[in-house]
Amino acid sequence: MSEGTSKKTITIAGLSLDSPAMVMVAAHELKAPLALLRQLSLSIEAGGLSASDVERVARQMTLTSERALRLTGDMTRTAQRDSALFKLEPVNPVSLCEEVAKELMPLFAAHNKSIRVRYRRSSPLAVAHRELLRRVLINFSDNALHYSADMKPVELSVQVTGSTVRIGVRDYGPAIAADVWRTLSSRLKQGAMQPLAARPQSSGLGLSIASQFAEMMQGTIGVTRHRDGATFYVEIQQSRQMSLL
Amino acid sequence: MSNLSADVLIIEDDIWLSEQFERTLQRAGCQTVSTSNALRAMELIDQSPPQVIILDMLLGGASGLTLLHELQSYTDTAKIPVILCTNMASSIDKKDVEPYGIRRILDKTTMHPDDIVVAVRGALL
């Protein structure tokens, strides 16, 4: 990718987009949904499924391909980070959380899980790029889907901390291991994301993409470790405009 | 394919893939139980030892390797044949994992749905 005569290097997870390691990480992330799609498709091809099973498997295929497409879309957006396409504006994070929860509800329901917005009285405005912020929250929610317990809903919440707005996604699942959490917190504070999985089967790509998107909005991401899960959050500047009530 | 009667424990954290394995194995005549968690798997094994275990390597919480170590720690569970079913099959040498009771490695990216039935049948021989 070039800008004028100088070549700029775009990185995700501390890796250059055109590096072999980056290709490996992206390939690893896409392998699971593609393998699942193939298995589901083969099971329909083989026949013998009941009509309700075919309907169920077809729905799973649709939702799985949508997840894979979200990842490829995120990688494309990250590659465009220097193209000034992402103008920041006042965004109502509560309504955005509602939008994300609504969009992901079918995916969560298909996994026998749920997602909801935890409301607070205030409804601040944040300075953000609506689509990038949406992508960060979807990334966090997608991560939470894998680790949340069946009976506990994943919760999106918004709170004002000083001059910033913190939008968090809380899951109730296995705690992040102490050593992983220490390294993760330290790297998030440094703002230098390396490929680091917060939990075992993740390559850390989603988290790194979220970090890049937050940075594009002059924000940061972080994580709070709970005994029964984790809250991944993004912090961005609060807008000085009047909040939409 | 003749009826296959076996108790199979599936340890897979992708619940849709797990469902797919269960559907295929049940149609072949197996009784299946599934979990996405290695610690829960140990509880299930203690309660009712399966005849075959189908194991994914990367799980939420403790990994498949942790479970394999645990299984090898006890003489009764060490004998349960394990079929490793993973996206990382191309990076695993069967000789390296045979000491852990692995009878077969299935590559999720290339396997056919019925391969899991063939693998279970083979593990019971």
- Residue-wise pLDDT for B71-88, tens only, equals 999 999 999 999 999 988
B16 in contact with A, Cβ within 8 Å: yes
Q: Which residues contact A120 (CB under 8 A, 6 or more apart)?
A: A157, A158, A159
What pLDDT is recorded for position A26? 72
- Give the distance, in angstroms, between the CA of residue A34 and the centroid of all CA atoms in the same chain: 19
What pLDDT is recorded for position A134? 93
Å between B87 CA and nearest CA of chain A: 7
Is residue A191 in some structural domain? Answer: yes
Write down the residue that tokens 């004998």 correspond to.
B79
Is residue A188 in some structural domain? Answer: yes
Mean pLDDT, all residues of chain B = 90
Residue type at position B23: R
A220 and A152 fall within a common domain = yes
Q: Scanning every residue of chain B, which has its alpha carbon at the shortest distance from the alpha carbon of A110?
A: B16
Is residue A208 in some structural domain? Answer: yes
Cβ distance A40 to B20 less than 8 Å, yes or no, reads: yes
| Number of domains comprising chain A | 2
Query: How does DSSP classify residue A163?
Result: T
Select from A26, A53, A79 the last residue of a domain: A79
A51 and A140 fall within a common domain = no
Å between B110 CA and nearest CA of chain A: 8
Cβ distance B87 to A31 less than 8 Å, yes or no, reads: yes
Q: Which residues contact A192 (CB under 8 A, 6 or more apart)?
A: A14
Among B11, B14, B22, which would you mutate to test the A interface (most chain A Cβ atoms within 10 Å of its Cβ)? B14
pTM over 0.80, yes/no: no
Instruction: Check residues A244 and B56 and name the one with the higher pLDDT.
Output: B56
What pLDDT is recorded for position A202? 54
A94 and A210 fall within a common domain = yes
Label residue A40 exposed, middle or buried (CB < 10 Å: 0-12, 13-18, 19+): buried
Is residue A96 in some structural domain? Answer: yes
A46 and A156 fall within a common domain = no
Query: Is residue B1 a contact partner of residue B117, using CB atoms and an 8 Å limit?
Result: yes
A71 and A136 fall within a common domain = no
A38 and A115 fall within a common domain = no
A32 and A72 fall within a common domain = yes
Å between B48 CA and nearest CA of chain A: 24
Kindly indicate whether the ipTM for this predicted assembly is greater than 0.90, answering yes or no.
no
What pLDDT is recorded for position B101? 86
Structural domains in chain B, sorted by start? 7-124 (3.40.50.2300)
Band (pLDDT 50/70/90 cuts) for residue B61 is: low
A57 and A161 fall within a common domain = no
What pLDDT is recorded for position A121? 72
Range of the domain at A12: 2-79
Tally C-beta pairs within 8 A across A and B.
Answer: 55
Is residue A244 in some structural domain? Answer: no
Flag whether pLDDT at B105 surpasses 60.
yes
Cβ distance A39 to B58 less than 8 Å, yes or no, reads: no
Bridge partner residues of B104 (DSSP): B83
Is residue A84 in some structural domain? Answer: no
SS (H, E, C) A38-102: HHHHHHHHHCCCCHHHHHHHHHHHHHHHHHHHHHHHHHHHHHCCCCCCCCCEEECHHHHHHHHHH
Band (pLDDT 50/70/90 cuts) for residue B6 is: very high
- Report chain B's C-alpha Rg in angstroms: 13
A128 and A60 fall within a common domain = no
> Which of A193, A203, A157, A226 has the alpha carbon at shortest distance from A32?
A203
Give the count of alpha carbons within 13 A of B119, CB side only.
27
Q: Scanning every residue of chain B, which has its alpha carbon at the shortest distance from the alpha carbon of A36?
A: B17
Task: Quote the tokens at residue A124.
Answer: 């601040």
CATH number at residue A175: 3.30.565.10
Select from A18, A48, A79 the last residue of a domain: A79
* Helix, strand, or coil (residue A135): helix
Q: What angle do CA A231, A238, A193 make, to 5 degrees?
A: 45
What pLDDT is recorded for position A81? 61
Is residue A64 in some structural domain? Answer: yes
A41 and A135 fall within a common domain = no
Cβ distance A35 to B60 less than 8 Å, yes or no, reads: no
Residues of chain A where predicted confidence (pLDDT) is lower than 70:
1-25, 78-85, 177, 179-181, 183-204, 241-245
A154-161 and A164-171 as β-strands: parallel, antiparallel, unpaired? antiparallel
A105 and A42 fall within a common domain = no
* Helix, strand, or coil (residue A7): strand
Write down the residue that tokens 């919760």 correspond to.
A155
Label residue A212 exposed, middle or buried (CB < 10 Å: 0-12, 13-18, 19+): buried
What pLDDT is recorded for position B122? 94
Is residue A152 in some structural domain? Answer: yes
Select from A32, A51, A79 the last residue of a domain: A79
What pLDDT is recorded for position A22? 60
Residues of B in contact with A34 (CB under 8 A): 109
Report how far residue B44's alpha carbon sits from residue B50's, in angstroms, rounded to the nearest whole number. 9
Q: What angle do CA A233, A238, A240 make, to 5 degrees?
A: 170
pLDDT digits (tens, 9 = 90+) for A88-131: 899 999 999 999 999 999 999 988 899 999 977 777 899 999 98
Residues of A in contact with B60 (CB under 8 A): 146-147, 173-174, 199-201
A102 and A152 fall within a common domain = yes
What pLDDT is recorded for position A7? 44
